[in-house]
Structure 1
């Protein structure tokens, strides 16, 4: 959970430069591409040039290079490029336009482009694009925070390996969900940590604000840490996604929530809007991890599980 928040402290707040390692392999469908998002290529040269820029400006990145971990920086840059494509697609679908004055002012509030980009994968030119994406995600969050409801079957377990394995089983055969719900262990307070047809709104479940529950279509199974300590994992089958009326008193909710949380929630809405876009990463970098919106070396390093059920795939 905290990894997502750190990854998306998008307004010049320090981003972590530790993701995972670049291996070797052939590229995706289009030669010279680091990744392809919905048929649009992200050029290898773009990722390489940005990586060099980060190495020049960030001592932590240079240290990682000296330790033979240059690939970790490259993957963080590539994840940023992919996320931009997702934000761009969402903005187009929702007809969101950004006031460039607000982009400029937000960067200036952080001390200007160089200061705003410090200790992150951004630089003095990309920071404006990043801030533009932040504003898009903020608008997506505002449009959905009080009105989005998902209906889920879910259960919780303590072991992440068990959570991912059972999520994969449900994705292959959704009928297994009811058994897993019934078999779910009880909490320390004796309560059943599972339910069917549970209606969930982020305003009533703020701890779930940045999870994949809001970023997938009905018919999708997700598994993710249910708390920041990762002491419990949730496996959920998203069954419905509904627009509901806001509860009285929630009108100004977006003004009272940490902007970073809004950006994290907005990212999930953007991922939902871009759910039909295929994301193909060049194997030399690894694979896309939607749970943390980043790139990891191999699928086994993904922070959670996201999979469409077999029945949904057939429809």
Structure 2
């Protein structure tokens, strides 16, 4: 009984903190965020956060450590990502077979089992699986045919990468100088190039990055490897549809499903690039690099910004 009482006391504290959180919200009162003019209600995020606290010991531990805000940000990020996926599905006329949604959840043990150790619950897991299938279809449609043309350079320091990306966003003419000045790799190769054509099939390590999630004229900075030993700064100049290389017809079936979904998310972000995302300051800010919500700009996993062209005098 003491365990039950403790758990529900945590929930009570959660409700109090969520309702009394500081900061002013987006333009529409009572919103946790606004995506493309459509509000995500505060109540929705609050209720889902309470549900997560009830079912997840890890979330209860985070609450006990004063990290409730991290749980609610995960929930809000899921709500935002759902709207991005839904918008992309509408734009691309993607219809999901509900039998596949049901079967996928059942294969994981049913709604309650499938939603364990996540911000999902038995009432949201089918929606999440539906979004995953949408992203998978988006990935399949673009995996072998999408090409981006970029100017890029690599640096080792994430702070330097973000600062130089911001400089390029403020004045795209600076990109040429940064490309020329980029340090060489340990193997002596130039870690930079202009007008580089990039495809996932030829650069699989970049499959999950923001290169595929932005419109031409956008500057991005992100870790170039899992160890974050190198960072890439890129100005996306073109986005083209090309013919698949022979032998790539079944590529989508051979790639890790998680990577396929990650690539599909980037395609969805591109399709939703014109949807403004405004997060209530009590939760933080939207970070497109990791498709999540972080407390402040300084915690973003990378940089995304539209490049400006300054007139020469």
Runs of 4+ in structure 1 displaced over 6 angstroms? 1-20, 312-315
Once the two structures are TM-superposed, the CA of residue 67 in structure 1 deviates from its matched residue by 1.1
- Looking at structure 2, the residues matched to 194 and 3 of structure 1 have their Cα atoms a distance apart, in angstroms, of 57
- Looking at structure 1, the residues matched to 294 and 46 of structure 2 have their Cα atoms a distance apart, in angstroms, of 17
Once the two structures are TM-superposed, the CA of residue 24 in structure 1 deviates from its matched residue by 2.4
Provide the TM-score with structure 2 as the length reference. 0.92
Once the two structures are TM-superposed, the CA of residue 63 in structure 1 deviates from its matched residue by 0.6
Q: Deviations over 1:25-81 (max 9, x none)?
A: 000000000000000000000000000000000000001111111111000000000
Q: Which runs of 5+ in 2 are unaligned?
A: none
Answer whether contact 2:171 2:307 (CA < 8 A) is retained: yes
Answer whether contact 2:148 2:212 (CA < 8 A) is retained: yes
Q: Residues 12 and 263 from structure 1, CA distance in 2 versus in 1: closer, same or farther, beyond 3 angstroms?
A: farther
Once the two structures are TM-superposed, the CA of residue 11 in structure 1 deviates from its matched residue by 27
- Looking at structure 2, the residues matched to 2 and 166 of structure 1 have their Cα atoms a distance apart, in angstroms, of 54
Once the two structures are TM-superposed, the CA of residue 19 in structure 1 deviates from its matched residue by 20
RMSD between aligned alpha carbons? 7.1
Equivalenced residue count is 313
Q: Residues 237 and 105 from structure 1, CA distance in 2 versus in 1: closer, same or farther, beyond 3 angstroms?
A: same
Q: Residues 298 and 3 from structure 1, CA distance in 2 versus in 1: closer, same or farther, beyond 3 angstroms?
A: farther
Answer whether contact 1:19 1:296 (CA < 8 A) is retained: no
Stretch deviating more after TM superposition (188-197 or 23-32): 23-32
- Looking at structure 1, the residues matched to 6 and 256 of structure 2 have their Cα atoms a distance apart, in angstroms, of 13
Residue 290 (str. 1) matches residue 284 (str. 2): no
- Bigger Rg, which one: 2
Q: Residues 11 and 309 from structure 1, CA distance in 2 versus in 1: closer, same or farther, beyond 3 angstroms?
A: farther
Once the two structures are TM-superposed, the CA of residue 290 in structure 1 deviates from its matched residue by 0.2
- Looking at structure 1, the residues matched to 59 and 256 of structure 2 have their Cα atoms a distance apart, in angstroms, of 28
Answer whether contact 1:146 1:245 (CA < 8 A) is retained: yes
- Looking at structure 2, the residues matched to 52 and 265 of structure 1 have their Cα atoms a distance apart, in angstroms, of 31
Q: Secondary structure at the match of 1:181?
A: helix
* Larger RCO of the pair (alpha carbons < 8 Å, separation 6+): 1
Provide the TM-score with structure 1 as the length reference. 0.92
Answer whether contact 1:226 1:233 (CA < 8 A) is retained: yes
Q: Which runs of 5+ in 1 are unaligned?
A: none
Answer whether contact 1:210 1:268 (CA < 8 A) is retained: yes
Q: Residues 66 and 34 from structure 1, CA distance in 2 versus in 1: closer, same or farther, beyond 3 angstroms?
A: same
Q: Secondary structure at the match of 2:13?
A: coil
